[in-house]
């Protein structure tokens, strides 16, 4: 899985990320992985669903992985954050 | 899948839902399904990860399903909302 087929979800609006995923499929990608952590996990799910339902109708959700990542903040304290990886695949 | 093995995520704090899931496992449930929609999807992922990592170490995420649900608001207008179902299973 090359990194150019991964879309990281941040604080931009949902359609920016939808466009990023659709562009990768239109460039010939067979799989695009949408990654997010923390509060923007729900946005990652929105992106996957909008791509699949409105733009790339033959794309399927082939895998959803949820994990915990350890973060170290600037003051050195550690915390955990949940993360999600949604794989969209087209035939 | 009986409804008593389902935990719906809302706006309470994460640990309330963690407790609900752990209680169901302690009552003998082999599978608990965590459901959420919209912005609290990220909280559902937190709940699953905290249960698995801190409380019920033999529980595994057996399935993650993401879907789109149609909502009708009070004024009759319709909108879509993303939803997640996370199945936790223990042997």
Cα B57 from Cα B18, distance rounded (Å): 13
**Rounded to an integer, what distance in angstroms lies between the CA atom of residue A24 and that of residue B51?**
36
CB nearest B42 (choices: A48, A49, A82): A82
Cβ neighbours of residue B70 closer than 8 Å, sequence gap 6 or more:
B78, B79, B80
Helix axes A41-50, B41-50, angle to 10 degrees: 120
How far apart, in whole angstroms, are the C-alpha atoms of residue A22 and residue A26? Answer: 6
Chain B positions touching A48 (Cβ under 8 A) are: 66
Q: Which residues of B touch A42 (CB under 8 A)?
A: 38-42, 82
pLDDT at res. A13: 95
**Residue of A34, A42, A47 to mutate, testing the B interface (most B Cβ within 10 Å of its Cβ):** A42
Task: Write out chain B residues lying below 8 Å of A41, CB-based.
Answer: 41-42, 45
The dihedrals phi and psi of B81, each to the nearest 5 degrees, come to -135, 140
pLDDT at A16: 97
* Domain boundaries A3-89, corresponding CATH code: 3.30.110.20
Comparing CB atoms, the residue among B42, B53, B67 nearest residue A41 is B42
Angstrom distance (rounded) from CA A46 to CA A54 = 12
pLDDT in single tens digits along all 91 residues of chain A? 455 699 999 999 999 999 999 999 999 999 999 999 999 999 999 999 999 999 999 999 999 999 999 988 888 888 899 999 999 999 9
Q: Answer whether A71's CB lies under 8 Å from A81's CB.
A: yes
User: Cβ of A78: how many Cβ atoms within 10 Å?
Assistant: 8
Report the length, in residues, of chain B: 91
Query: Is B47:B34 a contact under the CB 8 Å cutoff?
Result: yes
What is the ipTM metric for this complex? 0.88
**A84: its two tokens:** 């999600």
**A22, A34, A46 from A89: Cα distances, Å:** 12, 11, 16
Report residue B43 CA to chain centroid gap. 9
Domain boundaries, chain A: 3-89
Asked whether the beta carbons of residue A42 and residue B38 sit closer than 8 angstroms, the reply is yes
Q: Which residue has the tokens 């919209």?
A: B38
The residues of chain B scoring below 70 in pLDDT are 1-4
| Exposure letters A14-33 (e unless 16+ CB within 10 A, then b) | beebbebbbebbeeebebbb
């Amino acid at each position: 899985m090359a990194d150019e087929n991964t879309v990281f979800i941040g604080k931009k609006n949902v359609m920016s990320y939808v466009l990023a995923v659709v562009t990768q499929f239109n460039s010939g990608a067979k799989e695009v992985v949408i990654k997010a952590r923390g509060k923007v996990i729900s946005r990652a799910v929105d992106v996957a669903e909008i791509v699949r339902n409105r733009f790339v109708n033959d794309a399927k959700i082939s895998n959803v992985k949820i994990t915990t990542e350890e973060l170290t903040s600037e003051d050195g304290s550690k915390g955990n954050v949940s993360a999600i990886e949604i794989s969209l695949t087209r035939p």
